[in-house]
Amino acid sequence: MKNLDQVIHELIAFRDARDWQQFHNSKDLAIALSIEASELLELFLWKGNEECNRERLKEELADVMMYALLLADKNQLNMIEIIEAKIKKNDEKYPVEKAKGTAKKYNEL
């Protein structure tokens, strides 16, 4: 299996081969990310707890992830580092002894 850096490299090469970097400013990448996230949500609309179409789920998740990676790259952010930092921050906001088994927000614990 490829690592994240290899996947990002392939994604950037795909984009650059098509000369799409000129359209990839932070605003438009964030908008595209939001649109793709909405398409992901649409898979579950009016379905209750039913399973959604697994192939469409994989495609929409990939779209969301690709735009997130492109947005991070555009802003010189390392996704591994920022995810690790966010996990650490969440660990401090949601200590196990207070948050385990509850869906309450950190300020309600």
Domain boundaries, the chain: 4-75
Q: Report the distance separating Cα 63 and Cα 61, nearest Å.
A: 5
Provide the phi-psi class of 26: left if phi over 0, else alpha when psi is between -120 and 50, else beta: alpha
| pLDDT tens sequence across 21-37 | 999 999 999 999 999 99
- Count of C-beta atoms within a 10 Å radius of residue 47: 11
As its CATH architecture, domain 4-75 has: Orthogonal Bundle (1.10)
Which regions of the chain are under pLDDT 70?
none
pLDDT score of 79: 95
